[in-house]
Structure 1
Amino acid sequence: MYWHEDGGWAWMAFMPLLWILLIGLVVWAVVRLTQHSSSRVTGPERDGPRGETPEDILDRRFASGEIDGDAYSAARRKLAEHRPRPR
């Protein structure tokens, strides 16, 4: 039978596509795993850039217009009440 001889030209044409698919799958998996692990950050880094304090977040929200002056003042007082005192 003619089509059963060593795979023929079709196998030779299919191999580069198989390698491209395999490499693409590995790259996709690595990207997904690294993005997923970085989304599991806990602590202060979870809510914003590293080193951003609650006061910084409050200032940013007030500056962007998310909260008004009264809410800003009340939140500032509340943060000051619960801020640990330096020893």
Structure 2
Amino acid sequence: MMYWHDGGMNGWGIGLMSLSMLLFWALVIVGGIVLVRHLGRTAPHSPAPPEPPTAPPQRPTPEQLLAERLARGEIDPDEYRARLNTLRGGGDPAASG
């Protein structure tokens, strides 16, 4: 017995194979688009607002430093008053009296 097509595909087989391959790639592309859109929706659309810059810590004034030295016991009250008077522009009390 002799076979005419020798086990090969006829016109319908090639057509169905081509159509199934097109459908496969269409599903892959559509799936990729859907995935990208879904991931884009779940991600925040705008970044969080930047935090306001924190101000650098302010340096203590000379009077505050002098008061801290008095509080720590580094200077006595008389020296504190004399230095405070000098800071405020009163001059040296020892020179005036």
Give the TM-score normalised by the residue count of structure 2.
0.39
Specify the structure having the higher radius of gyration (Cα). Answer: 2
Bigger fraction of residues in helix: 1
